[in-house]
Copies of this chain bind each other. A is one copy, B any other.
Amino acid sequence: MDAVLQALADPSRRTMLELLRHRPATAGQLAEALPIARPGVSRHLRVLREVGLVDVRQDAQRRVYSLRPEALVEVDQWLEPYRALWRNRLDALHTEIARGKKERK
């Protein structure tokens, strides 16, 4: 889970996921759509592969990458306790407003 969140930190990698979200693509296609050169894309793909965010399918000389959205489940799970908080906070806010608030220094 650590690894996934760390992989998501890079904007280029997020863009790649965004592209793969619509359809699978080869490394070359991804490189064309990105501001960085092919080798860089390859290395990013390696990272994404290692954390399970993408799958590779060999097609002759090509390597077709596809999104593996299940890997993001752990991010969702990491988010879960916080999600509970931000929802409660809205509730609490409403309650506070309803009955007045005590001062805190």
Contacts and interface: CB of A to CB of B under 8 A. Distances in A.
Contacts of A6: 9
Interface string A67-105: 101101101100101110110011000000000000001
A63 interface: no
What is the oligomeric copy number? 2
A21 interface: yes
B79 A72 contact: yes
Given A69-B86, A85-B69, A2 B8 contact: no
Given A2-B11, A67-B82, A72-B82, 18 more contacts: A5-B5, A5-B8, A5-B9, A5-B14, A6-B9, A9-B9, A21-B81, A21-B82, A59-B105, A69-B82, A69-B83, A69-B85, A69-B89, A72-B79, A75-B79, A76-B79, A76-B83, A79-B79
